Amino acid sequence: MNSQDTKKAVVLVSGGLDSATTLAIAKDQGFDCHALSFDYQQRHRSELAAAGNIAKFFAVSEHRLMTIDSGGPSGSALTDTDIPVPETPQQGIPVTYVPARNTVFLALALGYAEVIGASDIFIGVNAVDYSGYPDCRPEFIDAFEVLSNVATKAAVQGQRMRIHTPLMAMDKRRIIRTGIELGVDYSMTVSCYQANSQGRACGVCDSCRIRRAGFEAAGIADPTVYV
């Protein structure tokens, strides 16, 4: 595939394990990747530093960081430091759920895609080993793709928009093994909900537990640095 034939894709890169694997998959599929990260006033910034390192590692064409003003919805332990991050498993949707986060992220990614002439958006949502967030389910992605194709100039003019979720049906073990096969260096990633400024993980939050169990199931040494 020559450079003129290469399709552009916007890839959401948070700095975590799943988004790094998603970027690796998009690159492996031959896309010209444009990474997109968000500063949404989250609890820590170490994941944004990780996102930058991941984008450089995979030599993306562009890595754009968009800032979402803190005047938006809070009510989540990931954006409100007065709400503690749970350190034991919770029933139902946990307080780490950020209201409408993926809806906002994908809307901004959609606009970015139109500007650069991309018709493909990759997001690393997963409905197997995850925390039960409603905006990580296939129903949400399918609905957003329908919206994308009635809401954009590109789609109205015949350029169909596609939302890719290559990790949707994978458990964490398979995600990790896929990433290793594609050359992902997971030591660069930060998944913890309350990592410190050096990116060291707490080891007890929901995200840390899921990540650690995934490496154990994959039979691969966990490169995460814990506090």
d(CA 21, CA 8): 18
pLDDT tens, residue by residue, 4-61 = 568 999 999 999 999 999 999 999 999 999 999 999 888 778 999 999 999 999 999 9
Got the DSSP string for 78-139? TT-TTSPPPSS--SSS-TT--TTHHHHHHHHHHHHHHHHT--EEE----SSSS---GGGSHH
pLDDT tens, residue by residue, 151-208 = 999 999 999 999 999 999 999 999 999 999 999 999 999 999 999 988 899 999 989 9
Q: Is residue 106 part of a domain?
A: yes
Q: Is residue 52 part of a domain?
A: yes
Q: Is residue 1 part of a domain?
A: no
What Cα–Cα distance (Å) separates residue 202 from each residue in 46, 84, 141, 211, 214? 13, 13, 30, 12, 16
Got the DSSP string for 49-61? HHHHHHHHHTT-S
d(CA 60, CA 158): 27
Q: Is residue 225 part of a domain?
A: no
Q: Is residue 223 part of a domain?
A: no
| Torsion on CA atoms 190, 101, 165, 176, rounded to nearest 10 | 20
* CATH code of residue 15: 3.40.50.620
Burial label for 223, CB within 10 Å (0-12, 13-18, 19+), is: exposed
d(CA 197, CA 204): 17
Q: Is residue 227 part of a domain?
A: no
Q: Is residue 92 part of a domain?
A: yes
Tokens of 158: 């015949």
DSSP class of residue 226 equals: B
What is the pTM assigned to this prediction? 0.92
Give the domain range for residue 193: 8-218
Binned at pLDDT 50, 70 and 90, residue 97 comes out as confident
Helix and strand numbers (H, E) in the chain are 7, 5
Q: Is residue 170 part of a domain?
A: yes
Query: Which residues neighbour 76 within 8 Å (Cβ) at sequence distance 6 or greater?
Result: 83, 95, 96, 97, 98, 99
Per the structure, the count of domains in the chain is 1
